[in-house]
Chains A and B, each alone.
Chain A
Amino acid sequence: MQTAIRRPVRPTISHWLAPLVWLLLLLGACWGMSWLEPLFRLAEPDSRDIIYDRADFIVLLGRHLQVVGVAALLAIGIGVAAAIAVTRPAGRDFLPMVSQLASMGQTFPPVAVLALAVPVLGFGNLPVIVALLLYGLLPIVRNTLAGLESIDGGVAEAARGMGMTGGQRLWRVELPLAAPIILAGIRTSVTINIATAAIGSTVGASNLGDPIISGIVNGNIAYVLQGALLIGLLALSVDSLFARLQPGSPD
C-alpha cells in the first residue's frame, strides 16, 4: 500500500532538459527543413520538389497543436468532471455504466472513431476535434476513476472523521492523491490524439499529417519523411514533457 509520495522537487533546468531538447529540435526542423534538402534528395533523387512547400511547417505545427490542445482541454475538463460526478454519492448510480463504457470504449480503434465522426459532422477540423475529444475522454475518465478509487480507505475515513466537507475532501485529499494517475491518463490521451490528429488530414483537417498524405498521394517519399519527422518530434516533445511532470514514471 505504501506508495512513493512526491517530495517537492525544485525544478531545475536539467530536469526540463529532455523536453527542451526535443522542442528545440522540433522548432529547428520546422524552420530549417530546407537546409536538410540534400539529405532528402537521397530519398527522392528524381523529383523536382524536395521540400514540402504548400504550407509553412510552423503553421501546420500550430494547427496540429491547436486541434490537439482544444480537444485535450475539453476532454480533461469533461472527463475529470464526469469521473468526479460518478464517484460522489449523488452520481454513484452511474458509476458501473461509466466505468464499463470507459474501459470498453478503449477497444474502439481511434481511426474508426474518426471515420465515424465524418458522416455526422462533415469534413474539416470539427469532426477531428470531436473524435479526439470522444476518444481522449476514455483514458482520462478511466484513470481518474482508478485514481479516486485507489485512495486508501483509512485516509478517506480519516478525512471524513476529522470533519472535512465533501469539497474539502475532494480538493485537498482525493484529487492531490489521484493526480499522478490522472496525469498518466492525460498523457495517454494526448499521445493518442497527436497520432490521430495526423490521420485527420485525410478528412480535411490541415496539420502535420498533410505532407505525409500528400507525399503518399504524389509518390514523394521526401514529403512523407518530412511530415513523419515533425510528427515524431512533436509526439516526443509532448511525451517527455509529461514524463517530467509525472515523477516516478520510467523515463
Chain B
Amino acid sequence: MRPNSVLISLMLVLLATWLGLDAVSVAANRIVPGEGVGVGGIAGWPGVLTSLMPMLAVLLLAWRPTGRHLRLALMLVILMLTALPLWLVVAAAATVDPSLPQARMAIGPAVWIAIFVLLLALIELRGRVPLPSWQNGLLYLLPLLSLALSLMLDLEPLALRQEYQVRKSAFLTAIGEHLLLVSAAVGISLSLGVGLAMAMRHWPRAQRFGFTLLNFLQTIPSLALFGLLLAPLAWLSDRYDWLAALGISGIGWAPALLALIAYSLLPMVRNTYVALEEVDPGVIDAARGMGMSRAQIFRQVRLPLGLPVILEGIRITTVQGIGLTAVAALIGAGGLGRFIFQGLGQAAMDLVLLGALPILIMALLADALLAALTEKIRPGGTH
C-alpha cells in the first residue's frame, strides 16, 4: 500500500510552520504593535513536544494508510482542532500579564496556518473514511464546543474577543442588517427572476437581449455599480419627499439593495430558465404522450425536475450576496463590512477579523446548507 502523500505533505507543512512561525502576538494595549511569541515561548519544551505528538502520529499513520489507520488519523486531526482553542487559553495565561488590563493577545500565523492545514487534512480524510452523517456532524461539533468552552473559560485577553466585547450590540445589529439585506435581495431577485425567465420562455426574442443585459450588469464591478447608483437615487430622493420618507437616499441600504438585486438576477434568471427549459425533451414527450395536461406537466414534471436547479441559483446568489453586502458597507449600508472598513481605517486588524470571519462563516454555512437542501430534494437521489 502506497503512503498517503497528501497527508504526509500536509503534516510536514504543519510541523514546519508550527515550529517556525509565531503562534501568538502580544501587545500591552490596542495601539502598540504586538510582539510575536513562538510555540516554545508559551509552554516550553515539554509543551512543544506534547503538541508535536499527534502530528507525528498522523505522519506515521499516513505511511500505511489502511482503513483503520485513516480512521485513527481522522480522530487525531479532530483532536488537534479541538485542542487548539484550549491551547490558546493556555497561551493567553502564559503570555499576557494579568496586571495590565489593556494587554491583549492576537492569534499568530502558526495558529492560522495550523487551522487551515488541519481543515485540508479533514477534507482529505473525509473523502477516504466513510462515515454515517450523524458521526460526520459530531466531528465538526467537537472543535466548536471546545471553542465555545474556551471563550467562556478564560480567553479575556484575546484581541478578537475584546473587539467584540466593546461592540457587542453593534455586532448583533450588523449581523441582522447583513442577513436582512441578503435575504431581501435574494427574495426579490427570486420573484423577479422567475418572472423574467417565464417572460423569456414566452418571447424567445427577448431572451438574447435579456441575457446580454444581465451579463453586462454582472460584469460591472460592485464598487462601481454602488457608485453609479448613488447619483440617481440621491436625485430622486431630493425630488420626491415620499421616497426620502421611505429612507431612500443616495447612500444607505437603497443603492446596496438595488445593486445586490442587479447582481443576483443573472444567476437567478439563468438557473430558472435552464430549470424550465432544459428538461429532457424525451421526458416531456412521454408525459404528453400519456395525456398529461400542460398544467400537470408543469406541476408534476417540470417543477420537481427544475427545483434543484432553481435552488442552485438561490445558493449562488446568496453566497455572492453575502460577499457583496460587505462592500456595500462603504456606501453606508451597514452590515458586517462596516467592521472591516473601520478596522482597515484604524489599522486595527482584530476589528477587521471581527467583520471578515463572520462573513466567511456565513458564506460557508449558507453554501453548505443550501447545497445539502438541493441534494435532499433532488429527485432520484444523487447523480
Provide the residues of chain B in CB contact with A209, threshold 8 Å: 223
Contact A195 B356 (CB under 8 A): no
Provide the residues of chain B in CB contact with A225, threshold 8 Å: 227-228, 230-231
Closest to B364 in A: A107
Contact B220 A97 (CB under 8 A): no
B303 to chain A, nearest CB (A): 26
B365 to chain A, nearest CB (A): 10
Closest to B231 in A: A43
Cβ-Cβ contact count across A and B, 8 Å cutoff: 145
What per-residue 1/0 map shows which CB atoms of A188-227 lie under 8 Å from chain B?
Answer: 0001001100110011000001001101100001001101
Contact A199 B327 (CB under 8 A): yes
A93 within 8 A of B: yes
Contact B360 A231 (CB under 8 A): no
Contact B340 A115 (CB under 8 A): yes
Q: How would you classify the secondary structure of chain A's contact residues: helix, strand, loop or mixed?
A: helix
Provide the residues of chain A in CB contact with B251, threshold 8 Å: 216
Contact A191 B223 (CB under 8 A): no
Return the contact of B212 from the options A104, A112, A212, A251 (Cβ within 8 A): A251
Report how far A57 CA is from B360 CA in the complex, Å.
Answer: 34
Provide the residues of chain A in CB contact with B366, threshold 8 Å: 107
Contact B123 A100 (CB under 8 A): yes
Contact B323 A111 (CB under 8 A): yes
A96 within 8 A of B: yes
Closest to B361 in A: A112
Return the contact of B223 from the options A107, A120, A195 (Cβ within 8 A): A195
Report how far A216 CA is from B250 CA in the complex, Å.
Answer: 11
What per-residue 1/0 map shows which CB atoms of B1-32 lie under 8 Å from chain A?
Answer: 00011100000000000000000000000000
Contact B353 A119 (CB under 8 A): yes
Contact A235 B221 (CB under 8 A): yes
User: A202-B330, A216-B331, A251-B212 known; A109 and B227 CB under 8 Å?
Assistant: no
Provide the residues of chain A in CB contact with B226, threshold 8 Å: 228
B69 to chain A, nearest CB (A): 16
What per-residue 1/0 map shows which CB atoms of B212-227 lie under 8 Å from chain A?
Answer: 1001100111111111
Contact B363 A107 (CB under 8 A): yes
Give residues 293-350 of B contacting A (CB, 8 Å): 319, 322-324, 326-327, 330-331, 337, 340-341, 343-345, 347, 349
Report how far A216 CA is from B224 CA in the complex, Å.
Answer: 12
A38 within 8 A of B: no
Contact B352 A94 (CB under 8 A): no
A101 within 8 A of B: yes
A73 within 8 A of B: no
Contact B230 A224 (CB under 8 A): yes
Return the contact of A97 from the options B123, B250, B343 (Cβ within 8 A): B123
Provide the residues of chain B in CB contact with A94, threshold 8 Å: 5-6
Report how far A193 CA is from B234 CA in the complex, Å.
Answer: 29
Return the contact of A115 from the options B127, B347, B356 (Cβ within 8 A): B356
User: A101-B120, A202-B341 known; A235 and B219 CB under 8 Å?
Assistant: yes
9 A-B pairs within 8 Å (CB atoms) are namely: A43-B235, A108-B363, A108-B364, A109-B323, A111-B337, A112-B323, A119-B353, A224-B227, A250-B211
Chain B residues in the interface with A (C-beta under 8 A):
4-6, 109, 120, 123-124, 127, 208, 211-212, 215-216, 219-228, 230-231, 234-235, 250-251, 319, 322-324, 326-327, 330-331, 337, 340-341, 343-345, 347, 349, 352-353, 355-356, 359-360, 363-364, 366-367
